[in-house]
Chain A
Amino acid sequence: MLFLIEIWESVRDFIATGGDVLYIVAAVLLIMWVMMIEKYWFITGVFPGIKKDIIAKWDAREDTTSWYAHKIREFWISEASEKINERMLSIKTLVAICPLVGLLGTVTGMIQVFEIMANQGTGNPRLMAEGISMATIPTMAGMVAALSGVFFSTRLEAKAKLAKEHLVDSLPHH
């Protein structure tokens, strides 16, 4: 329990030195990871069942070579691939947004530095240091968040593509 409190304390210190922009980074990171985990779970857990149903339905058909059959096959594949790719664009957007949020933190931190300079002059570097830490920490946090997203979202995309290819291969014209 004490261990958790210590972790919470250090997180609070981190946010206190980094400024409020870190909350936005944290929110973006949270949404991003919730979406990615949901997607992983869908592709590995739910999608095989859907795939099995479609294959069974296709195998049950007598006509698999007419124009109608072709169109129906395309219809099913498209439906399935839409389910796989749902929210993929949002995940990619969130990954792209992360460094931008970090940059926002940098700019607001610099505004604070210059505002302190405008009010108090350059006599006291300690006052300015607060703004500089507010400028650098969100950038770092945004970068780390984006990096964590880039790797896994790319993996996810490849996985989704592969799952769709498998489905296509499993629906032969016989």
Chain B
Amino acid sequence: MKKVFKSIALAATMTLSAGVALNANANTATLDKLLEQVKKDRISEGKINKKREQEFMAARADKQALLKKAKSELAAEQARGERLKNQFAQNEVTLAKKATELENAKGTLGEMFGVVRRAATDTMGSISGSIISAQYPGRDDLLVKLAEAKELPTTKELEELWIALQTEMTESAKVVSFDTEVVGLDGETSVQRVTRVGNFNLMNDTNYLIYNIDTKQVQPLGREADGHYLAAIENFTSSASGEMAPLFIDPSMGNLLRLNTQKATLEDRYHAGGIVGYIITGVLALGLLIALERLITLSLMGSKMRSQLKNTANPSDNNPLGRILKVYHNNKNADVENLELKLDEAILKEIPKVERGVTVIKILAAIAPLLGLLGTVVGMIETFQQITLFGTGDPRIMAGSISMALVTTAQGLIAALPLIFVHSIVAAKSKSIMHILDEQSAGIIASHAEKEQA
């Protein structure tokens, strides 16, 4: 390919140089022509230039006029600027003068403005949180306007503030009933007859209510107060007007009632014990049931034995002493050693009936505190698990489960105390019966035999 291009280029150059040599004579004629042409052209160029020169000269005169005009305009504007500046300065002075005039005219009113604002801000806090707002809603709108206003309050607004303060004062001395919407815990609204005691308490016929500042609604407490507080309400609302009735009042305007709902009840604490707590309850119930059964059986046995003791001649089958006496009656003619062996055998038969259950109560009494300890350990494990998850930053999380852990210890002790006590009673009873059978039955038989022989 390259070779083809080279040969073509070579051929082209050779043809060109041949052409230049051929045309040399013809060129001199055209050069003369060109010279002629240039000379002619110079004359016409000169003409054109002259014409343009003349045009420029004419335009220059125009521009001069324009410049002059612009300059005069600038001078006029500058003069006007000066004039306005003077006027502005003058106005400033007048303004300052007027401001002082206004200040003088306002005088003590300015101080009053500050007082009004402060009073409005103060009152806003107490009024929006006051339960009187449940009866007269929307009272704090005006106060918000007054507290945030930049201009002087009008006389009407001042009067409104006065009235708002006065209303709060007057109403806080009253015990009144009115109908209002109450939002229940399930979210349902109902119109209820509500009694307000000053600005302390709000209640319906049976329960205390609180006024929620954020939602501006009347609500029941999350958890009912204790029964004797509620009983006082019922007495109070059912008493005739003019009659005196005692009533529990929350002097902290609802805060104590709210705190009361946070406090764990006895039932809550019991359930905080968890499964271990229920097992301890089961142990306590089982122990008490066994103890009750034992107490009844042993008392019956004891009383029957006492009546048998008065009547040794006629042994009956319904009590251990009678059964032992019967052995003697059946073996009256046997020798002493034989009789003693038979008596021992009869006593051995009676022992399990008397001692049954006593050790079980003792074991249950010992198990209960151990179970409590188990619950504590389980609770502590839970605590440490929470620490691994959440760290020790919030003592509240830890404290919650620690108090739960301790509840089981308390439950264990509470279960153990009565069980120990009951065991001592049952053990004493069974021991006294055992003594009668073990040590005294032979004596009873001996004295009976002596009486018969005499």
Contact = CB atoms under 8 A, between A and B. Distances in A.
A90 interface: yes
Interface string A76-100: 1111001000110110111011001
A89 B427 contact: yes
Contacts of A115: 264, 399, 403
A71 interface: yes
Interface string A128-142: 000000000000000
B370 interface: no
Interface stretch (B30-38, B90-98, B221-229, B428-436): B428-436
B201 interface: no
Interface in A107-162: 107-108, 110-111, 114-115, 117-119, 121-122
Contact of B446 (A67, A77, A92, A103): A67
B447 A75 contact: yes
B419 to A, nearest CB: 11
Nearest to B396: A118
Interface residues of A, number: 37
Given A93-B424, A96-B420, A114 B403 contact: yes
A107 B439 contact: no
Interface in B385-439: 395-396, 399-400, 402-403, 406-407, 409-410, 413-414, 416-417, 420-421, 423-425, 427-428, 431-432, 435, 439
A108 B403 contact: no
Majority DSSP secondary structure for residues of B touching A: helix
Given A89-B424, A111-B406, A122-B395, A72 B446 contact: yes
Contacts of A110: 403, 406
Nearest to A73: B443
A118 B413 contact: no
Contacts of B402: 114
A113 B281 CA distance: 24
Given A111-B269, A114-B400, A115-B264, 10 more contacts: A68-B449, A74-B439, A75-B444, A78-B439, A96-B420, A100-B369, A111-B410, A115-B403, A118-B399, A122-B395
Interface of A: 67-69, 71-79, 82, 86-87, 89-90, 92-94, 96-97, 100-101, 103-104, 107-108, 110-111, 114-115, 117-119, 121-122
